[in-house]
Amino acid sequence: MSAPRKARLALADGSVFEGFAFGADGSADGEVVFTTGMTGYQEVLTDPSYCGQIVTMTAPQIGNTGINAEDHEGRDVAPAVAGFVLRDPSLTTSNWRAESDLDSYLKRHNVVAIGGIDTRALTTHIRDKGAQNGCIGSADAATLIDRARALPSMEGQDLVQRVTTATPYAFSESRGSWRVPEDASVGERERHRVVALDYGAKRNILRCLVDAGFDVTVLPASSSAEAVLALDPKGIFLSNGPGDPAAVGYAIKTIQGLLGKKPIFGICLGHQLLSLALGARTYKLKFGHRGLNQPVQNLENRRVEITSQNHGFVVDVESLGGLAKSTYLHLNDGTSEGLEIAEANAFSVQFHPEAAAGPHDTLHLFERFRRAVETAA
């Protein structure tokens, strides 16, 4: 067995981390971030919200359970990340659901990764200095640093157009055997048509909408308010997605044309866009919230719920000027994690209720959306 080929991760601030090449040959660049999830690396790789980012896994050994066709979060099995950073890529795969090992999967989809990195040191550096652009490659350190410094900032980037669907489509896939045990009457309820605006929608969010009793039609992010309303939906869902929400002006305009017309539910980027449609501001966090163990407090009942999160921007609540009520609070840094606009029958959350954190602490939000739709009908 040949020795692994040396590789480096260089950051825009001049820091360099040595490791070995993993996955596809070549180089990769993007914003370097970390996620604290101990598992779920396939969901991370395929989450469209990670478009344009080099993702560092803080858990040391990754790849043990391989890759399968069921767990991907995008519309296909291709990864969305710009690059992947690992401490100890597993040399063996052992899981009854595995269809491929991680290294082969990355090679097949041309994703450049680097192993052998001291991910604890890298994570601490990002936490202290902030998320920043970086480059993975085998070139000399100076070349990689220059490439990282030449990359555009995540602020001002509209990455939604890289991940949204090009054409409308109907989605009818359920979570199937992975569903939480529910009352048998759930499957017998009247179904309601909703439109999901796709800013980079995770597949499991759409599954949860189906399981909540919705017939889901997914539209491109650039769809106008008139195109949405022409379908006469009972409700409108605003999906997650990547990049700077303030750069997605066309989506903000559409949401402004929809507010008050139909019940609205937004998640992650959809939450931020809903706030911007009200005239609020968003700003970039130092290193973001990414992981499966983020505690938030429900401000209505004071309960703490464990959530899965993946975002680098948040809403400036003060800029809302009282137009919306904050419904959730992040307990690590005090940022707002949810909003309600009662007069417009709209609400949103910054976290991911579909992602089984807690493991089911926040699934009730899909039922809340159904109640909003039924009340408005």
Residues with catalytic roles: 268, 352, 354
- What is the 8-class DSSP label of residue 358? T
Closest CA to 307 of 322, 287, 329: 329
SS3 content of the chain, % helix, strand, coil (to 5): 30, 30, 40
Sign of CA dihedral 270, 276, 280, 285: positive
Query: What are the Cα distances from residue 192, in Å, to 67, 215, 273, 348, 367?
Result: 34, 6, 24, 19, 13
DSSP β-ladder status, 112-115 and 28-35? unpaired
The rounded distance, in Å, linking the Cα atoms of 42 and 269 is 21
- Identify whether the C-beta of residue 86 lies closer than 8 Å to the C-beta of residue 41: no
Please provide the DSSP assignment of 360-374 as one string. Answer: TTTTHHHHHHHHHHH
Longest dimension (CA), the chain: 66
